[in-house]
Amino acid sequence: MADTAAGDSGTSLEQRLDAMLEIERFDPSQQFREQALLSDPAVYERAARDPQGWWAEQAEALDWFERWDTVLDDSEPPFYKWFTGGKLNVSYNCLDRHVDAGRGDRVAYHWRGEEGERRDVTYAELHRDVQRFANALKDLGVQQGDVVGIYLPMIPEVVVAMLACARIGAPHNVVFGGFSAESVKERMEFSEAKVLVTVDGARRKGKTAPIKATVDEHMGDLASLKTVVVVRHARLDGVPMTAGRDVWFDEVCAAAAADCPAEPLDAEHPLFILYTSGSTASPKGILHTTGGYLTGVAATHRYVFDLKPDEDVWWCAADVGWITGHSYIVYGPLANGATSVMWEGAPDYPHKGIWWEVAEETRATLLYAAPTAIRTFMKWGHEIPERYDLSALRLLGSVGEPINPKAWLWYHQVIGGGRCPIVDTWWQTETGAIMITPLPGITSTKPGSATTPFPGVAAEVVGEGDGEPIDSGQGLLVLTQPWPSMLRTLYKEDERFVETYFARFGKERYLVGDAARRDRDGYLWIIGRIDDVVNVSGHRLSTAEVESAIVAHEKVAEAAVIGQSDEDTGQAICAFVTLNGEIEGTDELIAEIGAVVAERIGKFARPKRIIWADDLPKTRSGKIMRRLLRDIAEGRALGDVTTLRDPSVMASLESQIKDAQ
């Protein structure tokens, strides 16, 4: 169906896409189905009949030093354990077993740098570097269970650092490079990291940020932090190095022994902590463990993207610092022995066709990107990708936020040439791996729907009040059975873990935090967050976190942040700010507030819009009514204002907005 609609009949692309909006379903082409790893829908029934058997089968695709005794230990819900009694090592599964099988010369990463550098890193090279750095960490006193912080840009060393930690059983705590040094400090402090691995400088669009110097300014004296390891990347001069604490990555690697056997670790040994945003200002340390996580990411990477490791070139265009990067740049692809593309930079530097230039040059076959990026490319025009040969592409993925049908169709037509299936994958930092997604050789897709749960995953949409399953209609999304790659807890906050995810509907039902709609065919349509979490360009932020950064400005009395719908970024940060006393809101103050947010969280969290407010709408109990703020920001008629302590606040806010326009 898709192919016929794509035919060029002399009409403009815009007209063609509009006409295609009428098409509700896109069936997998026969050609794709015939070669797909999974093409028989019976896989869903098999997994539903025996989920543990299905997941055990997936776990068998990994190499275990000792086989598990129990697939799922559900004796203490919601603290589920998977593959207990089993021993394995993630780094062994990602490296040694491929090298031992004679695949050491295979490229693990086609790394492409901003300034046109090309570095192809093979499995054997990664294996060598990881062993050295693992030994270096040991030499620095890192022991099993010690947390290692990683704050690195998109360079191969970030993978080396993560796998070296996995090799010796030291959980890593990666902080996205876009977060500020202040955020790094907070995360290192929470997790009591012993070592931080960072870089001299990070390059972005031709400029170099002096990362090490900035880290030094903010890190202060963290009692737990014994060593800072610095990767030489930007080759900056005069990098400050504190004697007795700071060491160069290349020097400690050179001094370390070459062989470091992978440590056999319990299936439930912590693999990493990754902080993400929740309802409150304090980030949540999502804890993932070894056997279940690797099983989940390897199986989903293989089946959702129909990966043929001998032929495919995989490109996940996320950043390693987010869960998408952990699971689908590092662990899933390496466990499956895939060849990946790793792009250091931005999508518009040195020019707006750089992604397509890299895709053409590496002959990428599978691409996984965020809707924000797709919408941006759409805005730049189809003429840009059309200049490149993208004929190697055979499947496209989307992740991070709902994809609007128009962007879906543009992706399908312009990037995928009408022939590539699109997999819209829904999941979260907490779920570790993809949960709701099409299987490209089986599922008929509907633009805008993430379709149905992956085999072995069970989801329902339930009523907000009664928690009863909704057959067709809107409600809250819940996952109704444990899955191997689920978070095990919030680091050092077991109670908050239970409270956040399992208090509302009981310990057997994981509350996702998204609203969703289930249609008559059982397809799921994700609507968005139900908590105060905002999704800006696929970056997850808590409104409370941004608010507390804004009120840190001395002239600010109070702030309320909402996620406003945004054509480009999905949602954008809009802040209502009340200033102290008689202070007037000025452009200068807007810039200052933006700078405070950039310093405390990161540039990506800066408000796109600041609205000065004499007062904020509050209930009688003093709670800010964000719903009304969203109505105002998005120019809608106001909802019910009768519960406000002072309903006149809304009228004055509206007139303030008008004055500003």
In the complex, the residues that contact ligand PRX under the rule CB under 6 A are: 276, 323-324, 399-402, 424-429, 450, 513-514, 526, 529, 535, 540
CB-wise, 93 or 276, nearer to ligand PRX? 276
CB of residue 322 vs ligand PRX: minimum separation in angstroms? 6
| Alpha carbons 578 and 523: distance in angstroms, whole number | 43
The residue (of 180 and 277) whose beta carbon lies closer to ligand PRX is 277
- Beta strand 70-73 with 81-84 is antiparallel
For CA atoms 316, 322, 327, 330, the dihedral sign is positive
Shortest CB 90 distance to ligand PRX, Å: 20
Structure tokens that stand for 407 in this block: 């962007």
Write down the least CB distance from residue 277 to ligand PRX, Å.
Answer: 8
Q: How far is the CB of 153 from ligand PRX (least distance, A)?
A: 19
CA dihedral sign of residues 275, 278, 284, 290? negative
Beta strands in 378-509 (DSSP E): 395-399, 422-425, 459-462, 473-479, 489-490
Smaller CB separation from ligand PRX, 323 or 616: 323
Q: Strand 339-343's sheet: what is its strand order?
A: 118-122, 107-112, 339-343, 313-316, 366-369, 395-399, 422-425
Shortest spacing between CB 448 and ligand PRX, in angstroms: 9
Tokens of residue 272, six digits: 């990493």
- CA dist 317 and 345 (Å) reads 10
- Least distance from ligand PRX to the Cβ atom of residue 619, Å: 26
Closer to ligand PRX by CB, 93 or 428: give it. 428
Please state the closest distance from residue 353 (CB atom) to ligand PRX, in A.
26
| Closest distance to ligand PRX from the beta carbon of 458 (Å) | 17
Report the nearest approach of ligand PRX to the CB of residue 494 (Å). 20
d(CA 556, CA 371) in angstroms, rounded, equals 34
Min dist. Cβ of residue 404 to ligand PRX (A): 11
State how far the Cα of 600 lies from the Cα of 283, in Å rounded to an integer.
Answer: 13
Mark 623-642 as b/e (b = at least 16 C-beta within 10 Å).
Answer: ebbbebbbbbbeeeeeeebe
Biggest alpha carbon–alpha carbon distance for the chain:
74
Q: Give the tokens for residue 501.
A: 């995810």
Min dist. Cβ of residue 200 to ligand PRX (A) = 28
Q: Which two tokens stand for residue 15?
A: 């007209």
Output 526 or 605, the one with its CB closest to ligand PRX: 526
Cβ neighbours for 238, distance < 8 A, ≥ 6 positions apart: none
Q: State the nearest-atom distance from the C-beta of 349 to ligand PRX, in Å.
A: 24
Q: Which is nearer to ligand PRX, 276 or 290 (CB)?
A: 276
Is 179 or 426 the residue whose CB approaches ligand PRX more closely?
426
Whole-angstrom distance, CA of residue 366 vs CA of residue 364: 6
Residue 451 φ/ψ, nearest 5 degrees: 70, -110
Exposure b/e, 227-238, CB count within 10 A at least 16 = b: bbbbbebbebee
249/275 with CB nearer ligand PRX = 275
**227-231, strands of its sheet edge to edge:** 246-248, 227-231, 195-199, 148-150, 172-174, 270-276, 284-289, 489-490
CB-based contact 338:314 (threshold 8 Å): yes
Cβ-based nearer residue to ligand PRX, 276 or 336: 276
Nearest by Cα to 512 from 527, 493, 494: 527
Query: Which contiguous run of DSSP H or E holds residue 54?
Result: helix 51-59
| Least distance CB 332 / ligand PRX (angstroms) | 12
Q: Which is nearer to ligand PRX, 180 or 398 (CB)?
A: 398
Q: Can you tell me the distance from the alpha carbon of 236 to that of 348, in angstroms, rounded to the nearest whole number?
A: 24
CA distances from 508 to 449, 482, 505 (A): 25, 8, 8
**Whole-number Å distance between alpha carbons of 266 and 284:** 24
Question: Which helix H or strand E contains 367, and what residues bound it?
Answer: strand 366-369
Q: State the minimum distance, in angstroms, from the CB of residue 323 to ligand PRX.
A: 5
How close are the terminal C-alpha atoms of the chain, in Å? 47
